[in-house]
Amino acid sequence: MSPRENGSVGKPNASPRSPSGVAAGEGRSREDAFIQKVDICCTVYDFADRGKDSPEKERKRQVLMSLVDSIGAAEEPLTEAMMSACVHMFRVNLFRVFPPKVRSATVGASETEEDEPFFDPSWYHLQVVYELLLRFVTSPFVDPKVARKYVDSSFVSKLLDLFDSDDPRERDCLKTVLHRIYGKFMGNRPFIRKAVSNIFYRFVSEADHHNGIAELLEVFGSVISGFAKPLKEEHKLFLWKALIPLHKPKTVGVYLPQLTYCITQFIEKEPKLAGTVIRGLLKYWPVTNSQKEMMFLGELEEVLELIDMAEFQKCMVPLFRRIANCLNSSHFQVAERALFLWNNEHLFDMISQNRQVIVPLVYPALERNARLHWNQSVLNVTMNVRKMFFDMDERLLLACQSNFQVEEEKRAATEERRRLTWEQLERNADAFQPANTSFPAAPSSAPPVVPTVT
């Protein structure tokens, strides 16, 4: 349906009684004047062509500004007709389909081009419409119970679609607006949470592009900090199913600070979740992307800051296996970042209390670094960490050292034995083959592979 044709729907409804206490005649004229102005703003102009309709464009902007003022200066509640007209006007102006990404103009440029932010030419109007929307959702004279009829799921859902805008200014406005709507319209909260989860699911599982993940997460940072304790199951599910998988996309760097903030909010509410988060990080740990790996190490450290001993002990084995891998990274920044984890006091404390488990896990990695790592600085820090362990528990370190040597010596033998085992298995498998002679023929006795269409 075309929103523009519905432009006048608000008017026939404009007759219902205005709120009690206001003289009918006076309220009516205020209402009519307001709605008339709003209707003027329902005409959408083409900004791709700069010169076109410029007097009309200017007039609309003036009217928009005066509406901003009149909502700001309102001294009595907006009538339902006024609200309906406003929301309709927001829909007509804001809800649009974004144009495709501009293709680069020349062959040469495409190779070096970075994603430049795109600035919507119609921002001249949009900005004021957003300003008005913000005034509208924050005004004490807009009764959420009445406005809820218009600021409904479909409105919110379209608003969320706009977060994909290329224009950072628009996303910034949307962030504030969404936050206010979430605050004011309690009835919309479950829907907003669900719809935002859907955006995240799609972004992660259909490998889609989305411009507004950072902004959505920023809104959710404050939403989460407002969750009541103890956390509801639904909210924990959001952490596990929507937030943690956001670590997977390769563009995670764009929104990682906001994501980390959301996640630490959860842990502060319920420290037990730290273990869940760490297992999630390990699940999505990057294998080939060193840039991402450093970000993960950064976030890991933040989470470990908040973890308590019981949770730490539950996940330390897989965790330090992963860290040991990072220590050996041939990307020196990854290795360094991992080595610096020992500078964290809280972490160091927990490590030393669990050294009987952790040191044997990381010692081989330190030893391999000391022998083979190409980077001088990694080498130096490795030595420091090893020294630290030595000072912590000399006997343990010596035990690890001798164990490492034994393992090294055994390694070739272990590999050889693995090879022999598989070889023997292969022979056994061949020996069994006579019993299975039917199987090469089996497919032919099967029904046709593709079911025929009836």
Partner 1 sequence: MATVDEPLYPIAVLIDELKNEDIQLRLNSIRRLSTIARALGEERTRKELIPFLSENNDDEDEVLLAMAEELGVFIPYVGGVEHAHVLLPPLETLSTVEETCVRDKAVESLCRIGAQMKENDIVDFFIPVVKRLASGEWFTARVSSCGLFHIAYPSATDPLKTELRTIYGQLCQDDMPMVRRAAASNLGKFAATIEQSHLKTEIMSIFDDLTQDDQDSVRLLAVEGCAALGKLLEPQDCVAHILPVIVNFSQDKSWRVRYMVANQLYELCEAVGPEPTRADLVPAYVRLLRDNEAEVRIAAAGKVTKFCRILSPQLAVQHILPCVKELSSDSSQHVRSALASVIMGMAPVLGKDATIEQLLPIFLSLLKDEFPDVRLNIISKLDQVNQVIGIDLLSQSLLPAIVELAEDRHWRVRLAIIEYIPLLASQLGVGFFDDKLGALCMQWLEDKVYSIREAAANNLKRLAEEFGPEWAMQHIIPQVLEKINNPHYLYRMTILQAISLLAPVMGAEITCQKLLPVVINSSKDRVPNIKFNVAKVLQSLVPILDQSVVEKTVKPCLVELSEDPDVDVRYYANQALQACDQIMMSS
Q: Which one, 387 or 411, has the nearer CB to partner 1?
A: 411
372 vs 361: CA distance, rounded Å: 18
Does position 383 interact with partner 1 (CB under 8 A)? The reply is no
Chain residues 275-334 in contact with partner 1, contact rule CB under 8 A: 283, 321
Site string for partner 1, 230-269 (x = CB under 8 A): -----------x---x------------------------
Does position 421 interact with partner 1 (CB under 8 A)? The reply is yes
> In angstroms, what CA-CA distances link 60 with 19, 53, 63, 67, 167?
29, 11, 5, 10, 22
Considering CB under 8 A, how many residues would be counted as binding partner 1? 49
Single out the residue of 277, 280, 284, 285 nearest to residue 304, CA to CA: 277
331 vs 338: CA distance, rounded Å: 11
* The one among 206, 345, 391, 409 contacting partner 1 by CB under 8 A: 206
Does position 198 interact with partner 1 (CB under 8 A)? The reply is yes
Chain residues 17-56 in contact with partner 1, contact rule CB under 8 A: none
66 vs 367: CA distance, rounded Å: 72
Q: Counting beta carbons within 10 angstroms of the beta carbon of residue 39, is it exposed (0 to 12), middle (13 to 18) or buried (19 or more)?
A: middle
Site string for partner 1, 146-165 (x = CB under 8 A): --------x--x--------
Window of 176-184, 327-335, 349-357, 412-420 that interacts with partner 1 by CB under 8 A? 412-420
229 vs 233: CA distance, rounded Å: 11
Tell me which residue has tokens 């009538």: 79
- 406: how many CB neighbours lie within 10 A of its CB? 10
Does position 434 interact with partner 1 (CB under 8 A)? The reply is no
Does position 438 interact with partner 1 (CB under 8 A)? The reply is yes
Window of 84-92, 364-372, 385-393, 438-446 that interacts with partner 1 by CB under 8 A? 438-446
What's the sign of the alpha-carbon dihedral 378, 382, 383, 384?
A: positive
Q: Which one, 17 or 194, has the nearer CB to partner 1?
A: 194
* The one among 108, 228, 288, 395 contacting partner 1 by CB under 8 A: 108
- The answer to whether 30 touches 47, Cβ cutoff 8 Å, is no
128 vs 69: CA distance, rounded Å: 11
Phi first, then psi, for residue 361 (nearest 5°) are -75, -40
**Structure-block tokens of residue 239:** 């952490």
Binding site for partner 1 (CB under 8 A): 97, 99-100, 103, 105, 107-108, 154, 157, 198, 201-202, 205-207, 241, 245, 283, 321, 414, 417-418, 420-422, 424-426, 428-430, 432-433, 435-436, 438-440, 442-443, 445-447, 449-454
